[in-house]
Structure 1
Amino acid sequence: MKRAVKFFLVLAVTILVCSPVAAQVTKQQQELRGEVETKTGKKVRLFHSGTQDVKKTICIGDLIPVYREVYAYGAIKKTEVGKIRVLSYVGEHYFEAEVVAGKIKTGDVAQKESAACLVHPAPDED
């Protein structure tokens, strides 16, 4: 009997000690999951295909609406969550942009006409 009580006591203490550690999630993990909202004034990166039609459609200085797509009841519901302003080109497949309105998450879609870009957080500049 004494041995069983000791075992359950050690098990309970182990669970209590480990649970807060397991519950902590880093900011980087939250960004990758799309749980962190980027607010007005912050920079983001827009991933695109790099094709000429995207580069012709989306220009520096454009104000583009951003949509969040949610799968519900067998269909994809698309709602506007904010707007971004395109600031510059970054390599072959990215634009740098600034959030002008709304709260934008990783994985949201910036769309102008038929060109669409996937929103990613901008790397931290230290």
Structure 2
Amino acid sequence: MKKLSLLLTLSVFLASPLFAVSYPPSVQEPVYLKEDDVMTTGTKVHMFHSGTQDVRNASKTGDILTIYREYPPDLGVVTKQTGKIKVIGTIGDYYFEGHVIEGFAQPGSLAMKGTTACIITTRLKQK
């Protein structure tokens, strides 16, 4: 019985690396993210920030923020500048309203000025 158990355990142990699959991270953004709600020049957006005084002092109405996207988004090994956003107002304590003035943005992209960043959350729905 011990020999049979040892033989089965050994065969599983030796065969398991043959079935393991590993994929290297891609440096290009997946297709499903490229098609997901791309906000181009002229689109108004909401940008979430921490609400701290540092962010409020760094970003004011009229400031231009640079948009960055990470490739691949979950690993963050490479960042790419994709456009610029102009801050056109504030919405409550935690949101800026912005206007894409160059390039494009997507939900989850970062809008940065210096060392402060906002997360682009949604497109502003036109009424």
Per the normalisation by structure 2, the TM-score is 0.68
Q: Is the 8 A contact 1:34 1:105 kept in 2?
A: no
| Equivalent residue runs for 1:1-126 within 5 Å | 35-71=36-72, 76-126=77-127
Q: In proportion to residue count, which structure has more helix?
A: 1
Cα distance between partner residues in 1 of 2:124 and 2:60: 22
Q: Percent identity, aligned pairs only?
A: 34
TM-score (norm 1): 0.68
Q: Which runs of 4+ in 1 moved over 4 A?
A: none
Cα offsets for 1:3-44 (capped at 9, x unmatched)? xxxxxxxxxxxxxxxxxxxxxxxxxxx99x981110111100
What is the aligned residue count? 95
Extract unaligned runs of 5+ from structure 2.
1-31
Residue type of the partner of 1:52?
Q
Are the structure 2 counterparts of residues 91 and 75 from structure 1 closer, same or farther at C-alpha, using a change threshold of 3 Å? closer
After TM superposition, give the deviation of residue 118 of structure 1 in Å. Answer: 0.2
Distance 1:35 1:106 in 2: 8
| Residue 45 (structure 1) shift | 0.6
Q: Distance in 1 between matches of 2:125 and 2:114?
A: 30
- 1:125: Cα distance to partner? 3.3
Corresponding letter in the other structure for 1:36? D
Which AA in structure 1 matches 2:57? K
